[in-house]
Amino acid sequence: MALNVLVYSDDRNTREQVRLALGRRPAEDLAELQYLECATAPAVIKALDAHAKGAKRLDLLVLDGEATPVGGMGLCRQLKDEIYGCPPVLVLIGRPQDSWLAAWSRADAAIAAPVDPAALAETATALLRTGKQHLVG
């Protein structure tokens, strides 16, 4: 069963960087990744509503903290408050000094943008491994 990763950013280049950094399978013990790209906050909320209703499972959310008009950190806090069983959230922050904002947002992890492929893959893999049912074999 594939792992579903939602990637939110108003910038398609940022979404592409995330997809390329994580690839199809960031670790051998994980199932392949499938991506759902969202360019707007309403699209993210719609996807999470489907997740909450059991229609579409999401295993990881990668939210761009610098997205406009709705930033990923504010959106993360909203999702953590409103969605029971919210999937793990990795927030991309503009500067390492913004890590306190990521903590405020209740993100499970944060990495600085521009995306460092190795750091993103390592952090996302750790978050995806928290769900043992998603391990391969």
Domain that holds residue 80: 3-131
Give the model's pLDDT for residue 131: 56
How many Å is the Cα radius of gyration of the chain? 14
Position 64 in a domain: yes
Paired tokens of 116? 């460092």
Kindly state whether residue 49 falls inside one of the protein's structural domains: yes
- What pLDDT does 46 receive? 95
* Contacts of 50-54 spanning 24+ positions with Cβ under 8 A: 51/83, 51/87, 52/83, 52/84, 52/85
Q: Is residue 137, in this structure, part of any structural domain at all?
A: no
**pLDDT score at 115:** 87
Q: Which two tokens stand for residue 37?
A: 């790209």
Query: Is there a cis peptide before residue 117, judged by omega within 30 degrees of 0?
Result: no
pTM of the model: 0.92
For residues 76 and 73, give the distance between their C-alpha atoms in angstroms, rounded to a whole number: 5
94 belongs to a structural domain: yes
Residue 101 lies in a domain: yes
pLDDT values of the chain reduced to their tens digit, one per residue, 137 residues: 899 999 999 999 999 999 999 999 999 999 999 999 999 999 999 999 998 888 889 999 999 999 999 999 999 999 999 988 899 999 999 888 888 888 999 999 999 988 899 999 999 999 999 853 333 33
Residue 81 pLDDT:
93
User: How many distinct structural domains can be found in the chain?
Assistant: 1
What does the block give as tokens for 31? 């199932």
The CATH number linked to 48 is 3.40.50.2300
Q: Is residue 37 part of a domain?
A: yes
Domain assignment present for 41: yes
**Has residue 124 been placed in a domain?**
yes
